[in-house]
Structure 1
Amino acid sequence: MTDSKPTRLERIVTEGGAQAAILTIANPPLNLFDNAVFEAIAADVEDLTADPPRAVLLRAEGKLVSGGVDVHIFDGLSAAEGAQLWQALFARIIHPLEALPCPVIFSAHALCLTAAFEIALACDIILAAPKAKFGLVETVVGLTPSMGGPQRLAERAGSGRAREFVMTADLYDARTMADWGVVNAVHEDVDTAAHALLTKLADGPTRAHAATKEIVGAWRSGGVAHADSVTPQVSGPLFATDDLRGAVKSFLEIGPGKATYTGR
């Protein structure tokens, strides 16, 4: 990381030889989301889109994941400018992040507010430390979360929970969020757990993971019937991959758990 860039994108190679990536937010002391942070994350996501790894981990350094958005970026915006801000953040961060053809993990070690949590909700899997807390507190400035947080929270926890979460602007702990189905797992050492999961997913069948994301995305946009209709053309091509052919061969010859995946 340089002094001019509040994020760091590292590409690593697992022991199994797979490429993974770690995107770290580092904008001390509170990791506030200002224009520089949004621009840096957008640039990092563009980099990942241009050259996708086999798995991605988003995390933050410091005492907090994020204290939220620097409210200065809202000051003086017109209605049209506000709408343009959200359109840009969807187009440059949220939608491209969701569209990455590989698993994306978010690790929350502490307080995670507003934009950081909305980005977490755009990831495939969310891990949290027991002390982590989450909030969409935009109502304190007369705003509603507008980077996709309410609808993605509703998808995971139900519409009633989403309305409660946003309207009260309360903070909710990791265990509660896990009970709601928002957080996938709570770990005492969340950083170690996140890196282990990153390695496991990166060493796995990335083409199959991408197909899973596409099928689930079809369900999100059109329900079960739509997902059923796209599954054959999404899953069928997997039979032509070295991953599937090699895994089936190893399964038949030496049993499950011995396959080595190379495809992307």
Structure 2
Amino acid sequence: MSAGSQDTNAPLRLTHDGPLAVLTMDSPPMNLFDTTMLNAWADAMGQLTADPPRALLVRAVGRVVSAGVDVRVFDRIEPDGAEEFWARQLRITQQLEHLPCPTVFAAHSLTLTAAFELALACDLVVATESARFGLVERRVGFTPAMGGTQRLAQRAGPSRARELVMTGELYRGSTLAQWGVVNTLFAQSTFHADAHAYALRLAEGPTRAHSATKAVVRSFLDGGVPAADAMLPRLAADVVRTEDHRRAVTAFLTDGPHHATPCVGR
């Protein structure tokens, strides 16, 4: 994996493994979302939006994924500036959600508040069975403000979203997999390698087709089946013109469905 010119002391590192971008939270001991971490996320989203990879893996190192927002952040917010502050943080979530490539959030352990909200903005969430997730803002008399409530409602339904937020309880990865919030469970012992391989496989796939899939799902969520149907012929026509599609069709006809023609992302 190439690390580029990353600061090894940064709380959030952006590295690349070929076509896969990897965002790693590394701010021991709890990977808290303090001002430095939030600013690092904003900077990283700006970079990735300007120059999207073919897939993105979000991960963390350390005992926990994140214990959530540093309470000192709440203490410093002036009421008159709160709306602008939370609008800036929500933009991080929205930029992550709107990247044109597959995005994977890997949760190996405790994943609270802001980290869980960002996980919900990713296309796919992978976790261990014992990883624990929570939107626990009620402990400071608050509500999730980086978009987690509505994105959880989108995945698991409004009743489950109200339950998680209002009770502030923690839920294991195995439970959230049953609810459709977590897509895949990996063993703890091989979790990081499995998550990386999972994301790399997506990065090596038909990038433009994956982007079209994301656009169709987004259109469905915004306007239902009619909205998705309305845009699908144009998207399909765009994919028809891609090099990956043309090469894969030729290889399928020549070598069968199990051909090994690599995708190039164009």
Shared fold per TM-score greater than 0.5: yes
SS of the equivalent of 2:117 reads: helix
Alignment TM-score, normalising by the size of structure 1:
0.94
Residue aligning to 1:142: 141
2:54–2:265 contact (8 Å) kept in structure 1: no
Matches within 5 A, 1:86-235: 86-91=86-91, 93-188=92-187, 189-235=190-236
The separation in 2 between residues aligned to 1:257 and 1:190, in whole angstroms, is 28
The separation in 2 between residues aligned to 1:42 and 1:76, in whole angstroms, is 19
C-alpha displacement at 1:80, in angstroms?
A: 3.5
SS of the equivalent of 2:126 reads: strand
The separation in 2 between residues aligned to 1:223 and 1:110, in whole angstroms, is 35
The separation in 2 between residues aligned to 1:171 and 1:21, in whole angstroms, is 29
Matches within 5 A, 1:3-14: 5-13=10-18
The separation in 1 between residues aligned to 2:86 and 2:228, in whole angstroms, is 28
2:113–2:137 contact (8 Å) kept in structure 1: yes
SS of the equivalent of 2:23 reads: strand
C-alpha displacement at 1:77, in angstroms?
A: 2.6
Residue aligning to 2:3: none
| Residue type at the aligned position of 1:128 | A
The separation in 1 between residues aligned to 2:213 and 2:86, in whole angstroms, is 28
C-alpha displacement at 1:214, in angstroms?
A: 0.6
Asked if residue 2 in structure 1 is aligned to residue 7 in structure 2, the reply is yes
SS of the equivalent of 2:217 reads: helix
C-alpha displacement at 1:76, in angstroms?
A: 4.6
1:79-131 CA-partner distances (Å, limit 9, x unpaired): 3422112211122x111111111100000000000000000000000000122
| Residue type at the aligned position of 1:107 | A
SS of the equivalent of 1:74 reads: helix
2:109–2:128 contact (8 Å) kept in structure 1: yes
Residue aligning to 2:251: 250
Asked if residue 55 in structure 1 is aligned to residue 60 in structure 2, the reply is no
1:127–1:190 contact (8 Å) kept in structure 2: no
| Residue type at the aligned position of 2:43 | A
| Residue type at the aligned position of 1:74 | F
SS of the equivalent of 2:17 reads: strand
Specify whether residues 12 and 174 from structure 1 end up closer, same or farther in structure 2 by C-alpha distance, changes over 3 A only.
same
